[in-house]
Structure 1
Amino acid sequence: MTATSISATPSWTTLGTKEYVAHKRKVHSVAWSCGGQKLASGSVDQSVRVWSLHETGSATHTELTGHQDSVDQLRWDPLNPEVLGTASGDRTVRIWDTRTNKQVHAIETRGENINIRWSPDGQHVAVGDKDDNIAIIEMRKCKALKNIKFQSEVNEMAWEPTSGGKFFFLTTGSGSVEIFRYADMLAQEQAQPVHSLQAHTANCYCIDFSPKGEYLAVGGADAMVTIWDVHELVCLRTCTRFEWPVRTLSFSCDSRFLASGSEDLYVDIADVSTGEQVHKLSCSAAMNSVAWHPSRLLLAYAADDKDRVGRDDGSLRIFGFPSA
């Protein structure tokens, strides 16, 4: 599976994209395993596919079934490359062992789930639903440890990685990112944030930390992407190239590049140090999910693509292969 070395400056125009089709309806989420050997995709068709890429760029996949509604987001265990978590509108979170391609746990939740995130130590999972509930699941027993109801809109969330998961960041409908002490969230009935970043002028939808932990990126309904210094909690750069709400973000493995997708018909790849665009990856529909490989400059992405007769085409794409 040839890809550009992470130590080299990419020659973006020499790189191409490969398309992979298996789902019957559009793909909502893509994510690489922590070791990068596998890629997972979740779809409106209620299924999950786990892909193994080969050196030639070809791929094989297996299907995971069990959800009764759309699989809206999925993420891998950050320490175990064979364990996958999926969040669905069927009010369950499911944990899969991809060595056997079987579901090992189905955990019931209060609402229709749209977001999922693992803690850095793999011990907890946070799940958000359409009704602004967040469930904290303890993975040793695979049971909900706490359910938190928020009175206003909350969206994607993430643990800050360099503190060992001591701080929990939550994007909101008011344009802020609320920062909580995670221990307080577990111990108190309704924990108060220890800090609030007024990050955007409209709803904040997506959030990602760089692998090295020095940067935080936030995307919002105001069509902006902001890049923050995690330790100083100051905004370093603002990217204003989009015209429509930003749906998805991902830092490259070396923290040098940030991919972001919106309802505009392209994926923006920015230089994190300057905020300037280094490549514009054209697509034909609004973007749902982008994900950089954990050790190579390969970018998986999926959009609301349609086929020639207007049906969901169920494809995902990977950018970063040498052009033929």
Structure 2
Amino acid sequence: MELNATRMLVLHAHESSVYTCKWNPACNVLASGSEDTTACILKFNTKCTVRTQQLNLNHGIESFGKKDKWSHAVYSVDWNSEGTHLATGSSDSFVRIWDAELGVSTALGQHYGRVFVVKWNKRGAAILSGGLDGRAIVWNVILARYEQKFKFHSGPVVDVDWQSDESFASCSSDGRIHVCKVGCDRPIKTFREHTKQVNVIKWDASGRYLASGSDDSTVKIWTTHQGKLLDLKKHQKDIYTVEWAPANKSINPSSVLATGSADATVRLWDIETGKSLYTLIKHQGPIFSTCFSPDGKYLASGSFDRYVHIWSTSTGELIRSFKQPGRILDVSWNYLGDALAGCTSEGNLFVLNLRSQSIIDHSFSYADN
């Protein structure tokens, strides 16, 4: 059953494709990054039904009051743990740190070419970035300079993820995954078993397991002590998203991983057993984003078929569906779990208010469209 459009706030905040969106971890504030060379910070009322403020964050050098024509797309946004500052990575080669209230930024430049991904560490003292130049760079936020450059990949770094405040993993088009630590001049571990580009990596909350998804159509689970732990081969095409379920023993008693693929399926896996729990089949196009609700009860998936689906993680049932004019490039739950945001290839952001009526109400149960 599709959601009633009256419960969806559609925002035309950008002039071109919106690649990414992410809720502030502490309040109803949404950040987005777009092909139109801007990031936005959007504030909402308590129910997320009204946009109360929008802050446009322009990227690229300005000269004599005019934006430089070589300013470029914003590929990645990430909040620090307190929600006071936003990091952005763009194709003008800069990492920027923005004050979320004032909209002023500090530009950090050591990459050569596009910056595809930025991630804060948990403590909020460092930012990790990866780019076209094959480098992963750790930035000291207090000093506003790089802490260390890591140049171990032979191709672009397409994703990075912190394991702890000091160690992280990076993946690349070269098919390799490096686990590195600040202060060490060589990787502490390298995983080479993928045969094609590795698109995405994600550590679980404990930092014990690392999940990776590749163009070789496999998902692999690694540990720094044992190396490759599991080889998950149920998908038929490229893997674009991996997401660990929040720790919730009443809902997800073991380690659960969601994966989304170009084969138009989402799978839920029990990592303790290596078995596929559910195959979520409803999408008709590649799936570029998955996101668990904060309590782990629901999983949202966004696809090139222009649909967002909300699934029950305990039963695998499709709970709700809704459609947008463009391809869905990212989805994100807010910190309370009562609003879901997404962004599209048509330049739109949308916010679905789930507070007014619970998505588990029987009147919203799955019905085939």
Which TM bucket (shorter chain)? 0.7 to 0.9
Higher-Rg member (1/2) = 2
Match of 2:91 among 44, 68, 90: 44
Separation in 2 of the partners of 1:178 and 1:142? 26
2:306 is the alignment partner of 1:265 = yes
Separation in 2 of the partners of 1:244 and 1:155? 18
Match of 2:58 among 6, 22, 46: 22
Match of 2:263 among 222, 227, 247: 222
Separation in 2 of the partners of 1:319 and 1:211? 22
What is the Cα deviation at residue 87 of structure 1?
A: 0.7
Separation in 2 of the partners of 1:196 and 1:122? 28
Separation in 1 of the partners of 2:157 and 2:345? 19
Alignment of 1:281-296 (within 5 A): 282=324, 284-285=326-327, 287=329, 289-293=330-334
Separation in 2 of the partners of 1:76 and 1:281? 32
Separation in 2 of the partners of 1:74 and 1:168? 18
> Equivalent residue for 1:10?
none
Letter of the 1:204 counterpart? I
> Equivalent residue for 2:80?
33
Alpha-carbon spacing, 1:262–1:74, altered in 2? closer, same or farther (3 Å): farther
Separation in 2 of the partners of 1:39 and 1:318? 20
Alignment of 1:165-314 (within 5 A): 165-185=207-227, 193-212=228-247, 214=252, 215-273=256-314, 274-278=316-320, 280=322, 282=324, 284-285=326-327, 287=329, 289-293=330-334, 303-304=344-345
> Equivalent residue for 2:187?
144
Separation in 2 of the partners of 1:322 and 1:170? 31
What is the Cα deviation at residue 207 of structure 1?
A: 0.5
> Equivalent residue for 2:112?
68
Whether contact under 8 Å (2:91, 2:114) holds in the other structure is yes
Alpha-carbon spacing, 1:174–1:285, altered in 2? closer, same or farther (3 Å): closer
Alpha-carbon spacing, 1:48–1:260, altered in 2? closer, same or farther (3 Å): farther
* TM-score (normalizing by structure 2): 0.65
| Post-superposition CA distance 1:166-203 (Å, at most 9, x none) | 33322233433222332133xxxxxxx33322331222
> Equivalent residue for 2:152?
109
Match of 2:134 among 73, 88, 91: 91
> Equivalent residue for 2:124?
81
Separation in 2 of the partners of 1:145 and 1:279? 43
In angstroms, what is the RMSD of aligned CA positions? Answer: 3.6
Separation in 2 of the partners of 1:195 and 1:51? 39
1:194 match: secondary structure: strand
What is the Cα deviation at residue 220 of structure 1?
A: 0.6
What is the Cα deviation at residue 294 of structure 1?
A: 5.3
Separation in 2 of the partners of 1:283 and 1:265? 7
* TM-score (normalizing by structure 1): 0.73
Alpha-carbon spacing, 1:107–1:195, altered in 2? closer, same or farther (3 Å): closer
> Equivalent residue for 1:157?
201
Structure with bigger RCO (C-alpha 8 Å, 6+ apart): 1
What is the Cα deviation at residue 256 of structure 1?
A: 3.0
Separation in 2 of the partners of 1:224 and 1:114? 22
Separation in 2 of the partners of 1:268 and 1:234? 23
